[in-house]
Structure 1
């Protein structure tokens, strides 16, 4: 079985992949382009791709030897699932392993945006801090405020638990179906959540239905002091509309860990003080990346041994 791993992995995962599967690793840590993805599908039995690797419809247009894409990550919006199925290629992912780390980053962004932390750090590093003052850099209080969560899957629920039990926040959420939750949370239509919340966290999967689901109309529906936090995927938000809203002070601020065309972050967004920007750190701890890699390995083992795939998409 020939296995190609598209990016470098942690030491533990890399060792297992090499010793158990004889895996080959790309030397380039940038995403795979369409031509490279097409060639890999023709040359290997299985691949371990990840975010940004271009397994779009065109990549499946040529001869396809591969039978498995054991994706490293939960999101598979970089893979055309319909084209993969048509070509006889199974797709798996790594759910569960990323939940707590991503929820932690959501709360990090929420607190940083509310308390103007990145703006304050830039001021201090530039040598512009003149000392403490009673009215200096007043931000938004978080404890006891209203949190709206868009998407109440594993990550949305993990964010809600942290916010409710850790900060006493009221919770409302928009999702396809109400959830049985161990805390009080109101299911509401999306427009009602946006109009109600002091903070909005996006935790939906990237699909055709969620693309640009937060646009100019949705941002206009938010309260003027509200903050938008995105730990889903960049294309869930219309970046142009968000920049316009932030420049106009239409909402209180935003915290982003994901972007529509990563690693490109619009200069207009980078110039703004009322947005906190992180370089897609959602799962960036060694323990979590190890866990993700081990889930991918379990999918590869099942494929190799002819068993049911643990995490089919």
Structure 2
């Protein structure tokens, strides 16, 4: 029976799919990294939900596939996988609805000052809370700039533009056409003209530090930066300086440079900063959807078929599966 290793538990529906196909599905023994090394030394495929040690794949001679149960794969050593002919897959768009709705929720919370209204109501009473009504703004007519118009960015653009009547500016990699309701814009315009600037792009060498001190300094004084990409896309110290100086309206971060952040991380002391623990894409529906899709990729490779979403397609002709 082929052994499918997991870095952490996956949805029961995904486990059932693999077991019904005659696979053994197992978690590493114990909590330390040695358990992961031990199980991967015998595994035929690995489903990933947590960061991998850089040398793990070199110590896993039987692996035929590394399947990311999610979208981002920056914590998988894809270069090492490519060097040894090991395909890596992901599930693009699997959590797009969940992340997009999270982004819209963040915009609604900050535009209507819901947290502040709740806190003032509880501590100072009805009169003090209702007197702050003039701090709320409508999303209709505001501008959202989106860096990264993949599945997540497109869904946000659709909700914001067609649902709320917002002006949508966008930038994407490559030459693909933008949706009809999205106006193309370069970085200078995105940072300067947006009331909400959304980062939903992959973390690559090109996007690392994309939200630099210089670019963020061009933002409107009441604009909000929203990051659901990766922490490394933002110059975090520069963002903190801007927040403490009141140079921008605020920021909503679902991702950070340090995850989980230490309790003394300066993020926790920053004003006008809405923090969530990297859970924008985590609803029961989206987790099951991405886990099942990863399991389906494993089954394809075990049958000798090419998976649907290979992030390093150059290895396929020489992948380990071909000799299996």
Counterpart selection for 2:187 from 186, 190, 200: 190
Counterpart selection for 2:270 from 262, 267, 272: 272
Check the 8 A contact 1:147/1:200 in 2, yes or no: yes
Match runs of 1:146-295 below 5 Å? 146-177=143-174, 179-264=176-261, 267-295=265-293
The structure, 1 or 2, with the larger RCO (C-alpha pairs under 8 Å, 6+ apart) is 2
For residues 120 and 27 of structure 2, the distance between their equivalents in structure 1, rounded to whole angstroms, comes to 42
Q: 1:181 offset after TM fit, Å?
A: 4.1
What TM-score, normalized by structure 1, do the two folds share? 0.89
Q: 1:61 offset after TM fit, Å?
A: 4.5
Gaps (5+ residues) in structure 2?
312-324
SS at match of 2:229: coil
Residue 49 of structure 1 is matched in structure 2 by 48
Check the 8 A contact 2:154/2:179 in 1, yes or no: no
For residues 26 and 18 of structure 1, the distance between their equivalents in structure 2, rounded to whole angstroms, comes to 17
Q: 1:311 offset after TM fit, Å?
A: 1.5
> Cα deviation per residue 1:202-238 (whole Å; 9 max; x = unaligned)?
1101112111211211110111110001111121112
For residues 125 and 144 of structure 2, the distance between their equivalents in structure 1, rounded to whole angstroms, comes to 34
**Do residues 130 (structure 1) and 125 (structure 2) align?**
yes
**Do residues 306 (structure 1) and 301 (structure 2) align?**
no
For residues 191 and 36 of structure 1, the distance between their equivalents in structure 2, rounded to whole angstroms, comes to 48
**Do residues 97 (structure 1) and 94 (structure 2) align?**
yes
Check the 8 A contact 1:45/1:68 in 2, yes or no: yes
**Do residues 109 (structure 1) and 111 (structure 2) align?**
no
Q: 1:65 offset after TM fit, Å?
A: 2.7
Q: 1:96 offset after TM fit, Å?
A: 2.2
Gaps (5+ residues) in structure 1?
none
For residues 170 and 276 of structure 1, the distance between their equivalents in structure 2, rounded to whole angstroms, comes to 23
- CA 36–165 in structure 1, closer or farther in 2 if over 3 Å, else same: same
Check the 8 A contact 1:118/1:276 in 2, yes or no: no
The alignment's C-alpha RMSD in Å is 2.3
For residues 27 and 225 of structure 1, the distance between their equivalents in structure 2, rounded to whole angstroms, comes to 50
Q: Which has the larger radius of gyration?
A: 2
SS at match of 1:109: helix
* Aligned residue-pair number: 306
- CA 145–310 in structure 1, closer or farther in 2 if over 3 Å, else same: same
For residues 185 and 238 of structure 1, the distance between their equivalents in structure 2, rounded to whole angstroms, comes to 26
SS at match of 2:123: coil
SS at match of 1:23: strand
What TM-score, normalized by structure 2, do the two folds share? 0.86
Check the 8 A contact 1:37/1:53 in 2, yes or no: no
Counterpart selection for 2:81 from 60, 78, 84: 84
